Amino acid sequence: MTTRNDDLNRVTKEAQYDPVKRADEVAKIVCRDDLRKYYRFRPARFYGGIATADCVGCCLRCIFCWSWHQVAKPQTYGHLYSPHDVAKELTKIARKKRFKLLRISGNEPTIGRGHLLQVLELIPADFHFILETNGILIGHDKTYAEDLAKFHNLHVRVSLKGANEDEFSALTGAAPGGFTLQIQALENLLRAGVETHPAVMVSFSPPEHIADLWKRLKGIDLSFQDIEIEELVFWGDVEERLRKRRLEFKSAYPAHRTAS
């Protein structure tokens, strides 16, 4: 009889990639000088109302990703925008909707470091920017966190893909060390003085793995014991992809019950 852990281990042992190297490869597709590809700008109800720029290109291939098509085929989607264009679109949406929060979402915003830092420099001080990231590049290079520390209206949300290295690898297809980089990102941000917190995809994790992660994060800093819980949402063809990979999950919600 095949168990859930058997499925996770099977997927983990399949082809693995280095997410840092993949970030470099993706950057060649979605970045040009200080320009970066985006596929839409929109108001969103998440966080109680936030202006959102959805970028193209990620260094992970999470099986549950809601923007899978942009991740899988970054060359097909989006258009190049300058940092000025992105900041202008975000602030325009926020002022129209009377939002105080801005973000880059969709794929991985830390790809194209120079572009991101320039966007942050152009965000007016009366707005708060939430950087939603998988943390891979910040964990790989501590100077990235140090650069981000210059922005006092910034909060970084590091989205952990599973509760440990094996789950990370099963869910993303990447080498397990990528999860270690995610944890390192939290440490680098903390040391640099950047306001940050962990979010964790728990729909594939047994309770004991979640408990172990909680202890691991608490050991880094007591503030990290307040974990933001992420659960599986059936956006687009997510359910079909999971079925093809034969990955079991503990919890999930239909897309109409959530807002991104």
Give the domain CATH number at 228: 3.20.20.70
Strand partners, 129: 102, 154
pTM of the predicted structure, to 2 decimals: 0.89
- Confidence band, pLDDT 50/70/90 cuts, at residue 178: very high
**How far are the Cα atoms of 10, 28, 86, 147, 157 from residue 216, in angstroms, in the given order?**
25, 35, 37, 26, 17
Helix (H, G, I), strand (E, B) or coil at 204: coil
| C-alpha torsion sign, points 71, 77, 80, 83 | negative
- Confidence band, pLDDT 50/70/90 cuts, at residue 203: confident
Phi, psi of 131 (to 5 degrees): -90, 110
pLDDT tops 80 at residue 248: no
Dist. CA 71–CA 55, nearest whole Å: 10
Write out the DSSP string of 140-184. Answer: H-HHHHHHHTT-TTEEEEEEESSSSHHHHHHHH-B-THHHHHHHH
Kindly give, in sequence order, each residue whose CB lies less than 8 Å from that of residue 226, ignoring residues fewer than 6 positions away: 197
Domain with 65, as residue range(s), is 4-257
- Count of domains observed in the chain: 1
pLDDT at 127: 98
Dist. CA 87–CA 154, nearest whole Å: 14
Which candidate, 110, 133, 103, places its Cα nearest to that of 24?
110
pLDDT tops 50 at residue 61: yes
Residue 23 identity: A
